[in-house]
């Protein structure tokens, strides 16, 4: 049986604005197993980033946790003291941000920046920490790493800066690595290199990864399990094969249908019509109701529970209720599933 390293239960978060209180995260639960990569996917504003920032206890002044627990090593992170969180954050749980320039100090050379976690968390000497920093920079693929230890962030390319941020995150061998859209600002070639690097590092140091993205194409290449978020809630979760080959929630269908594929004849991408609901006044029923052409009357009146598809796969949609009419995924989704399967078989060969 897989060992849980992180267990989030019934997490709810509000944040105050001039217009009212936003119910940003609404009863979110998920877990992360040892050595696995869990992808949190969804549109911008779905709640992915605020969820992982809460794991790091990096909440803004106007954000309030109203319910839930986050279990790590048998303790609730939400109840830990600031002193204990300083030990956990960056040491046992580390984070890679979307924009490396916001994570790197422009006035400090990269050698000292990468070495800093070892000096803070391990009390390591400067000489030893710098030596280990050089080794990790070589490991993440910085050319001539030892010679470039005295260089500053602006002297590196975007892809190299992201590798430096990854080096900072992994140098203390964290149990959990949170990657918040780490490839969004990179071109496709560099993006593929960063994904491969994260996969290789996960295997080498045995860390567990939470990977945040809106791009399901990236998910297919890195994740073991996927949790799909919409309007502050998880609406479907399962293995990567469950989500790509047997998606059940209409929102997941929409995300998959928005992915570009090699067989697309049009020069336009498909999109999900409409916009997410206002979470100052969340809908009484299914939050996806107004954008869902398969919506039932009950979707407007009552939130769906999670229905079990398999032992690994659950989806919160009334379409899975035994009383609901039978609805099959759109033809475009079925074509994409066939293409995913063909691509997977080619990769396996």
Rg (the chain; Cα; Å): 21
8 A C-beta contact, residue 163 and residue 193: no
Burial (0-12, 13-18, 19+ Cβ within 10 Å), 86: middle
Furthest C-alpha separation in the chain: 68
Q: 272, 324, 322, 281: which is closest to 299 by C-alpha?
A: 324
The owner of tokens 């593929």 is 192
* C-alpha distances out from residue 52 to 22, 74, 104, 283, 298, Å: 18, 19, 20, 24, 32
Q: Buried b vs exposed e over 117-126: b needs ≥16 C-beta within 10 Å?
A: bbbebeebee
Spacing of C-alpha 97 from chain mean position: 11
Chain region(s) in the chain for CATH 3.40.50.300: 1-92+175-349
Q: 210, 142, 201: which is closest to 181 by C-alpha?
A: 210
pLDDT at 266: 55
- Reading the block at residue 301, the tokens are 């009146």
8 A C-beta contact, residue 90 and residue 172: yes
Render pLDDT for 30-46 as a digit per residue (tens, 0 to 9): 999 999 999 999 998 89
- Reading the block at residue 56, the tokens are 């790091």
pLDDT at 268: 63
Provide CATH code, domain 1-92+175-349. 3.40.50.300
* Cα–Cα dist 209/225, whole Å: 11
* Cα–Cα dist 163/157, whole Å: 10
Please list the rounded mean pLDDT of every run of 10 residues in the chain (349 residues): 91 96 97 96 92 93 96 94 89 86 90 92 91 94 94 93 92 93 81 88 91 87 95 97 94 87 60 92 96 95 97 98 90 75 60
DSSP state of 278: P
SS3 assignment, position 180: strand
pLDDT at 261: 61
* C-alpha distances out from residue 139 to 101, 144, 163, 197, Å: 21, 11, 10, 9
pLDDT at 205: 86
- Reading the block at residue 113, the tokens are 């920046």
- pTM exceeds cut of 0.75: yes
Give the length of the chain: 349
Q: 338, 151, 167: which is closest to 261 by C-alpha?
A: 338
In sequence order, what are the residues at sequence separation of 6 or more whose Cβ sits closer than 8 angstroms to the Cβ of residue 165? 96, 97, 100, 103, 104, 182
* Cα–Cα dist 160/193, whole Å: 11
* Cα–Cα dist 269/150, whole Å: 44
pLDDT at 346: 56
pLDDT at 259: 77
């Amino acid at each position: 049986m897989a060992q849980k390293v992180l267990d989030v239960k019934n997490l709810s978060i509000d944040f105050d604005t001039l217009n009212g209180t936003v119910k940003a995260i609404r009863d979110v639960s998920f877990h992360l197993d040892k050595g696995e990569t869990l992808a949190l996917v969804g549109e911008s504003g779905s709640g992915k980033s605020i969820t992982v920032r809460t794991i790091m206890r990096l909440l803004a002044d106007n954000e309030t946790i109203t319910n839930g627990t986050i279990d790590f090593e048998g303790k609730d992170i939400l109840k830990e003291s600031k002193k204990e969180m300083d030990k956990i954050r960056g040491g046992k749980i580390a984070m890679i941000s979307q924009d490396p320039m916001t994570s790197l100090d422009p006035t400090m050379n990269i050698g000292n920046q990468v070495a800093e976690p070892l000096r803070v968390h391990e009390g390591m000497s400067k000489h030893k920490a710098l030596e280990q920093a050089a080794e990790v920079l070589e490991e993440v693929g910085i050319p001539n790493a030892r010679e470039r230890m005295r260089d500053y962030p602006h002297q590196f390319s975007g892809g190299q800066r992201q590798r430096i941020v990854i080096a900072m995150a992994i140098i203390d061998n964290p149990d959990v690595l949170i990657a918040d859209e780490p490839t969004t600002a990179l071109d496709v070639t560099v993006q593929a290199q960063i994904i491969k690097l994260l996969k290789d590092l996960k295997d080498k140091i045995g860390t567990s990864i939470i990977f945040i993205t809106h791009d399901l194409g990236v998910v297919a290449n890195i994740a073991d399990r996927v949790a799909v978020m919409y309007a502050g809630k998880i609406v479907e979760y399962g293995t990567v094969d469950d989500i790509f080959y047997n998606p059940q929630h209409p929102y997941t269908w929409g995300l998959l249908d928005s992915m570009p594929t090699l067989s697309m004849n049009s020069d336009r991408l498909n999109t999900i019509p409409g916009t997410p609901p206002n979470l100052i006044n969340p809908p009484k029923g299914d939050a996806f109701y107004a954008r869902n052409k398969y919506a039932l009357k009950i979707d407007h009146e009552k939130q769906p529970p999670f229905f079990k598809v398999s032992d690994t796969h659950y989806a919160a949609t009334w379409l899975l209720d035994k009383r609901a009419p039978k609805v099959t995924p759109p033809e475009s989704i079925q074509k994409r599933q066939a293409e995913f399967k063909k691509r997977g078989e080619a990769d396996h060969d």
